[in-house]
Structure 1
Amino acid sequence: MCALVAGGCAAIPAETQPEAVPRERTGQPTQDVPEPAPGLDPLSVVREFVRASAQPTSDYAAARAYLTAGARAKWKPDQTLTVIEDEFSTVYVPENEQASGTGEEVVMVRGQHVGRLGSDSAFIASDEPVLEPVRLRRQPNGQWRIIDPPPAIMITVSDFAESYFRVPVYFFAPDSSVLVPDLRYVVARPQSGLPARVMDLLLSGPSNGLVGAVRNPLGEDASLESNVTMANDGALVVPLTGVGEQSEQEKELMAAQVVRSLQTVTTSRIRLLADGTALVPGHIDWRPSELPAYEAQASPSSDLPGLMTVGGRVYSLGSGAPIDGPAGSGEYQVESAAQSINGDQLAVVERSGPDVALRVGNYGSEGQLVELRGRSMTRPSWRPAASSRGESGELWTVVNGDTVVRVVPGADGRWVPQSVNASEVLSVGGISGLRLSRDGTRVAMIAGGQVVVASIVRAPDGTSVTLRAPRVLRPGELDSVVDLDWISQDTLIVATASDSVPVARVPVDGLRLDQFNSSNLTPPMRGITAAPGRPIVVADTTGLWTAGDVGDVWRPHNHSRPDAMPFYPG
């Protein structure tokens, strides 16, 4: 984190905070920092040290003020940031665990982890307890100071929210032109330095959790030729180098990466240069509104109202009528179904005796029976098509809770199942739900009743797929999940069997949890669906309800039925 702050702010010569601290001077504050209040007891010194750690300026000079002179010079906290709950305590360790020398005390910081900010500036949720010993020594002037500080910076979640700013940094889906947000966090102040810090993150590549799951047109050779500056005419100048050999098409994708990544931290025009000239010939200044609709392939058309399964048939959420074809006529005993993002394809899990089977085909037509059977299958989920006019060539399901399968067209055009390496996810628990993100780079699952998000990494030759870097979101809070869906590319909507949190919204990094108004709902929930720009539809014990946002009161759906299970395309 120290390296990130120094690197981002070094590109702003007009500002003095935060300053880049030369490596040989680490531990020596570069500005005057007030000494702690006199007479603090050891417990208070440690608490104030944690609070001061929220100020990263000048190599955490405010926190170093609580250390002895020797510890200030030696302390080199690692590049991770430990985020803890606001309510934490400092207590003396038992007498038999205290330091043997006189004039010393060992204080334990006790609390609960929220997570940590990694060296890649991405947040990883955690609910482990905090038990961090801190050793102090009384100084000749009678003041207590820390002689053995923790190896990582500790910061409360409220201080983290105030001191760090969340920015989506953008990359591309591996085989389409869909932009993919990668949630990262940068030091919030000074605000004028945010564009430089965001560019540092973008040029460093995707976060560890998305490595191998996204494509980076900027590549490893791209860098800043000089500082990110504001021109006299108000444009933000981003002078790139190392991209001159790329095609104009690739440079347009680079422009999209930069402009979309910077749109949350500046309203200025972005002047994109490559070795002193326009990055894209004939187009030097950019605004987000000038970019193509790169997310269009990842969002269902407004012409598709969504569907629901009722009594073994598929119905329209828009009209309430059964859909055309065998899925709506009752020819199949439908357990669950999924419509492709463009609406042209339909996958159906049907009951066949004691087992279930999968059918895949065109919407409104008879589907091909796939050679895949089991005691149970999760509702299928479609991967987006490679182009806006193409059909999807892949859908996923989980068989018997322990086998993740993707179904793809074979050489003869028939759909065939292929296994997905999901060993890391299965270590969390059996999988009872799965939804592919509509950009095709992540998957959200219900494993052991918890929400797990993982990245999808494909072998270069396309022969194998692995679920990598699984993260459990809000462990301990979301532990009775019954259904989930993607409300946007980086945010999930979750339905649970809990009376206290029946419906919640959570970002893919799990930093926060927004609970929906539970008025009118009758727990437990049975299902939920969401999509960009669409009302959320939830199924409880009485039927279907809709809401637009967290504070909205749930309203009855126009075509509610007691056993209906809703789903939007995807």
Structure 2
Amino acid sequence: MNRRRYRAAVATLIAVLVLSGCAAIPTESQPEAVPRERTGQPTQEVPEPARGLDPLSVVREFVRASAEPTSDHAAARAYLTGDSRKQWRPDQTLTIIEDQFGTVYATGREQSADSAERVVMVRATNVGRLGSDSAFIPADDQVLVPVRLRLQQDGQWRIIEPPDTIMVTETDFNESYFRVPVYFFASDSTALVPDVRYVVARPQSGLPARVMDLLLAGPSNGLTGAVRNPLGDAATLESNVTGANDGALVVPLSGVDETSEQERRLMVAQVVRSLQHVTTSRIRLLAGGTALTPGHIDWLPSELPAYEAVSSPSSELPGLMTAGGRLVSLGNGQAIEGPAGTGAYNVESAAQSINGQQLAVVERTGDGARLRVGDYGGEGQLVDLPATSLTRPTWRPATSSDKKSGELWTVADGDKVVRVQRTPEGKWAPQSVNASEVLAVGPITGLRLSRDGARVAMIAGGQLVVASVVRAADSSSITLRSPRILQPSNLVGVVDVDWVSQDTLIVATSSDSIPVARVPVDGQRLDKFNSSNLTPPMRAITAAPGRPIIVADASGLWTASDVGDVWRPHQMTRPDAAPFYPG
């Protein structure tokens, strides 16, 4: 019997049971992942639900239909009564649940005494939610949501009290929504910062317009205050984003008349980089009917200036490692020049600036640790930062690729996040960072600034936490805001973290089941690396754009380029080495 005939037979049987007095309504539907057939394009007419569905099945199918947002969730409204279809006003968020979820009848006072009414509880694990800003916010709690149904005159169960928030399964969400980074700029440099968002995937032809809507609305709540938006609040679309006869995608802006040519060039970068994931067409940027930037009307991503230069280490910098209290090159295995390489310092950890010109070293001194900062190969200046322990330093990018950085970060004794700034006199002075929201999670044992400086990844209480770096207007103070624990159920015992790219992290853990994993900056998924050849526990990890990942385990250094790769011994492996790329 094929699937359609089977469903028809079941529907007929259920209809008979309903008409005979509802005596055989099941008490629970077991959690299961139900495959969903999709046409790939929305249709104007939404079919009515199959006849004869019991209340549990109605609610389950309602959840599955909620993944289709077309026509104000018309597919989900089909499971509501006539009045409820008109009155339902779900909030502007999505609750994303695991694929396996259950529907059970409420018990006790929660259940209706009226035999023509039923209250069904949706029982699931919350994966996260999509906020009103279209950004994903991770979660890890249990969902138990009541849904009230009533038996209609035609013998069909329909929902009279739907949930206030739309629920979709993780698989359905990934099929119905498209992940896209929209771009803003670091607060005081030309480093582009990706802001990961999700837009409705169909129809595909409308993706550019939906991305432009997000870009013009500004950064997500999690990045507000941490990035600069050259488009500002005044920029809007003069008319729809459309395709021209010559194949270009026309983006007609308005509200940018008072902006400088420099700001307009930054706007070009924002728009072109944000649209490159949803179109291969040339982007025709207009303002008032003419080119947004004089003499250049059509743009491709390859024509943009190298804004990533300030946030990407040069390929000529092979990276370093600590070994035996010294700093050694990952390229040739030789100790570097200067006291950090000769053994004059008992090096515990270190960080090289993104452009390679500077070095920060944590050295072990008896029962304490101290920080030295200076030029690469030179003698570092001691920073007045007494501490028992200091995390491996991390550099903020310079304002341009040919300048030196004026700031680095570390964590003292697990509870003091410190930025160390270069003073006008050339000294290095520590200043506290407000990290109270992160410290509520647990002691901080690792910290890495993103190479654009807008975010920070931390290990707090053994968990992976990402927060935005919000600076006061005069940069006199910094607060870590909107901290989010990524993959809290899967990533436990995190021992090290680094940035593969500006929106992707790589982590090493003490777990035998997930020793190394890749996680997007919003934590929406987790990609587990092949664990072949690795010997737990992991000790350290490093990554950078366009570079192989290097992990240090119990036996030495191993390298891989992607999730499915088998780890290979690093050519400069040492059993006590801890590797790091610039940043």
Which category of TM-score, normalised to the shorter sequence, fits these structures? over 0.9
Q: Residue 345 of structure 1 aligns with which residue?
A: 358
Is 1:227 aligned to 2:240, yes or no?
yes
Name the amino acid aligned to 1:307: L
Distance (whole Å) between structure 2 residues aligned to residue 526 and residue 197 of structure 1: 43
Q: CA RMSD in A?
A: 0.9
Q: Residue 276 of structure 1 aligns with which residue?
A: 289
Is 1:517 aligned to 2:530, yes or no?
yes
Q: Residue 9 of structure 1 aligns with which residue?
A: none
Distance (whole Å) between structure 1 residues aligned to residue 206 and residue 218 of structure 2: 20
Alignment of structure 1 residues 7-22 onto 2, 5 Å: none
Residue in structure 1 matching 2:565, options 538, 552, 569 = 552
Q: Residue 127 of structure 1 aligns with which residue?
A: 140
Give the gaps of 5 or more residues in structure 2.
1-40
Distance (whole Å) between structure 1 residues aligned to residue 436 and residue 254 of structure 2: 41
Q: Residue 216 of structure 2 aligns with which residue?
A: 203
Name the amino acid aligned to 1:429: G
Following superposition, the deviation at residue 73 of structure 1 comes to: 1.0
Q: Residue 502 of structure 1 aligns with which residue?
A: 515
Following superposition, the deviation at residue 537 of structure 1 comes to: 0.3
Is 1:291 aligned to 2:304, yes or no?
yes
Matched residue of 2:374: which SS? Answer: strand
Distance (whole Å) between structure 2 residues aligned to residue 152 and residue 295 of structure 1: 39
Name the amino acid aligned to 1:39: G
Alignment of structure 1 residues 1-400 onto 2, 5 Å: 31-400=44-413
Residue in structure 2 matching 1:477, options 490, 495, 502 = 490
Distance (whole Å) between structure 2 residues aligned to residue 97 and residue 294 of structure 1: 58
Distance (whole Å) between structure 2 residues aligned to residue 496 and residue 209 of structure 1: 26
Distance (whole Å) between structure 2 residues aligned to residue 199 and residue 409 of structure 1: 39
Following superposition, the deviation at residue 504 of structure 1 comes to: 0.1
Matched residue of 1:295: which SS? Answer: helix
Is 1:563 aligned to 2:576, yes or no?
yes
Is 1:411 aligned to 2:420, yes or no?
no
Distance (whole Å) between structure 1 residues aligned to residue 221 and residue 300 of structure 2: 29
Matched residue of 1:208: which SS? Answer: coil
Distance (whole Å) between structure 2 residues aligned to residue 128 and residue 392 of structure 1: 41
Distance (whole Å) between structure 1 residues aligned to residue 45 and residue 496 of structure 2: 53
Name the amino acid aligned to 1:411: P
Q: Deviations over 1:125-167 (max 9, x none)?
A: 1111111111111111111111110001100010001000011
Count of residue correspondences: 543
Q: Residue 430 of structure 1 aligns with which residue?
A: 443
Following superposition, the deviation at residue 350 of structure 1 comes to: 0.5
Distance (whole Å) between structure 1 residues aligned to residue 64 and residue 247 of structure 2: 37
Q: Deviations over 1:413-466 (max 9, x none)?
A: 110000000000001111000000000000000000000000000000111000
Matched residue of 2:386: which SS? Answer: strand
Residue in structure 2 matching 1:540, options 553, 558, 563 = 553
Q: Deviations over 1:438-497 (max 9, x none)?
A: 000000000000000000000001110000100110011101100000000000000000
Give the alignment's TM-score, normalised by structure 2: 0.92
Q: Deviations over 1:312-340 (max 9, x none)?
A: 11111111111110001110011100000
**Overall identity of the aligned pairs, in %:** 75
Give the alignment's TM-score, normalised by structure 1: 0.94
Matched residue of 2:228: which SS? Answer: coil
Following superposition, the deviation at residue 67 of structure 1 comes to: 0.5
Q: Deviations over 1:229-260 (max 9, x none)?
A: 11111110000000011111110110110000
Following superposition, the deviation at residue 32 of structure 1 comes to: 2.7
Distance (whole Å) between structure 1 residues aligned to residue 132 and residue 564 of structure 2: 35
Following superposition, the deviation at residue 568 of structure 1 comes to: 0.4
Matched residue of 1:373: which SS? Answer: coil
Name the amino acid aligned to 1:164: Y
Following superposition, the deviation at residue 79 of structure 1 comes to: 0.3
Matched residue of 2:437: which SS? Answer: helix
Q: Deviations over 1:89-126 (max 9, x none)?
A: 10112244201333111111111011000000000111
Distance (whole Å) between structure 2 residues aligned to residue 433 and residue 38 of structure 1: 57
Distance (whole Å) between structure 1 residues aligned to residue 301 and residue 426 of structure 2: 40
Distance (whole Å) between structure 1 residues aligned to residue 306 and residue 113 of structure 2: 66
Matched residue of 1:51: which SS? Answer: helix
> Runs of at least 4 residues of structure 1 off by over 4 A?
none
Q: Deviations over 1:255-298 (max 9, x none)?
A: 11000000000001110000111100111111111001111111
Matched residue of 2:364: which SS? Answer: strand
Q: Residue 26 of structure 1 aligns with which residue?
A: none
Distance (whole Å) between structure 2 residues aligned to residue 551 and residue 298 of structure 1: 27
Distance (whole Å) between structure 1 residues aligned to residue 403 and residue 326 of structure 2: 27
Matched residue of 1:371: which SS? Answer: coil
Q: Residue 5 of structure 2 aligns with which residue?
A: none
Distance (whole Å) between structure 2 residues aligned to residue 176 and residue 411 of structure 1: 19
Residue in structure 2 matching 1:445, options 449, 458, 482 = 458
Name the amino acid aligned to 1:314: L
Distance (whole Å) between structure 2 residues aligned to residue 103 and residue 439 of structure 1: 59
Matched residue of 1:261: which SS? Answer: helix
Q: Deviations over 1:155-180 (max 9, x none)?
A: 00100010000110000011111111
Distance (whole Å) between structure 2 residues aligned to residue 31 and residue 121 of structure 1: 24
Matched residue of 2:230: which SS? Answer: coil
Name the amino acid aligned to 1:398: V
Distance (whole Å) between structure 2 residues aligned to residue 209 and residue 129 of structure 1: 23
Q: Deviations over 1:56-81 (max 9, x none)?
A: 11110110000011111110010001
Give the gaps of 5 or more residues in structure 1.
1-16, 19-29
Q: Residue 4 of structure 1 aligns with which residue?
A: none
Distance (whole Å) between structure 1 residues aligned to residue 445 and residue 52 of structure 2: 57
Distance (whole Å) between structure 1 residues aligned to residue 181 and residue 110 of structure 2: 45
Distance (whole Å) between structure 2 residues aligned to residue 476 and residue 32 of structure 1: 41
Distance (whole Å) between structure 2 residues aligned to residue 95 and residue 390 of structure 1: 69
Following superposition, the deviation at residue 379 of structure 1 comes to: 0.1
Matched residue of 2:222: which SS? Answer: helix
Q: Residue 18 of structure 2 aligns with which residue?
A: none
